[in-house]
Amino acid sequence: MEFIKVTKAYQKHIALIQLNRPKELNALNIQLMEEISESLKELDKDDEVRVVVITGNERAFAAGADIKQMAGKQTIDMWKEDRFTTWDQINKTKKPIIAAVSGFALGGGCELAMTCDMIVASETAQFGQPEIKIGVMPGAGGTQRLTKAIGKVKSMELVLTGKFINAEEALHYGLINKIVPVELYMEEALKLAKEIASMSPLAVQMAKESVKRSFEVPLDEGLQFERKNFYMLFSSEDQKEGMNAFVEKRRADFKGK
């Protein structure tokens, strides 16, 4: 991996993907996106890993897709490159993904954070979809996920003017989970990851799948989907362990079986 670093923590239950193009503010070039997608594919298959955290550095989570790499492209070049496969892979990941954001999360960077399931931000975080300023528009979910997260009017404002919002505003509009001082944002994201990693990984993944389904289908269909996953968990050892641990007044030890 050239543009990301992947490490594991907390009995290898948490995988940390760190974007590593600091000079370019972690601009998302094709290879970097392929590396994220490949590693997520691997981590999803890795039974030890229960939660993934994606982060950048203090100055930038990611300042967007690599403009220099895109500037000279024609439609057919973009089509041949098939960039959406990597984004689709991120969206398909079964395990929960937490974005730990400090500094710029712009354009594709904001879209990457929004493709994750939760966002822990430092007080210096800035979010925006500035594509309009370079003659295009969001292309990796920005018009859809941002609108679903913060509502139509604010989303229109951000997408049509390209202006940024700070962490306070992002929290106010429901884009992020939490703001912490810059020196604590990684610690806080890992704390959240650890808490989730202590639950049954099967229940976590099926619950994630069900919450995500609510964005895709009408309520009745979503409820049926939820019901199916709920029933399914009763064939897991973790369900027995979790409920027995409650009855026996002890801490559950979930195995993901």
Residue type at 130?
P
Residue 131 binds ligand DAK (CB under 6 A): yes
Q: Which residues of 16-28 are buried (b: 16+ CB within 10 A; e: fewer)?
A: bbbbebeebbbbb
Taking residues 161 to 200 in sequence order and writing x for each that binds ligand DAK by CB under 6 A, - otherwise, the string is: ----------------------------------------
Q: What is the DSSP string of 121-185?
A: EETT-EEE-GGGGGT----SSHHHHHHHHH-HHHHHHHHHH---EEHHHHHHTTS-SEEE-GGGH
Q: Would you say the C-alpha torsion 22, 99, 38, 107 has a positive or negative sign?
A: negative
Residue 108 binds ligand DAK (CB under 6 A): yes
Kindly name the residue from 109, 111, 113, 203 that is annotated as catalytic: 111
DSSP β-ladder status, 51-55 and 165-166: unpaired
Q: Judge whether 111 counts as a catalytic residue.
A: yes
Nearest CB to ligand DAK, comparing residues 24 and 188: 24
Residue with tokens 């990984």: 201
Q: Judge whether 108 counts as a catalytic residue.
A: yes
Q: Which stretch binds ligand DAK (CB under 6 A): 2-10, 116-124, 133-141, 191-199?
A: 133-141
Q: Judge whether 100 counts as a catalytic residue.
A: no
Per CB under 6 A, the list member of 14, 16, 19, 25 interacting with ligand DAK is 25
Kindly name the residue from 131, 140, 141, 193 that is annotated as catalytic: 131
Q: Judge whether 65 counts as a catalytic residue.
A: yes
Structure tokens at 92: 């398909």
Question: For binding to ligand DAK (CB under 6 A), which residues are involved?
Answer: 24-25, 27, 63-68, 83-84, 87, 104, 106-108, 111, 130-131, 134, 139-140
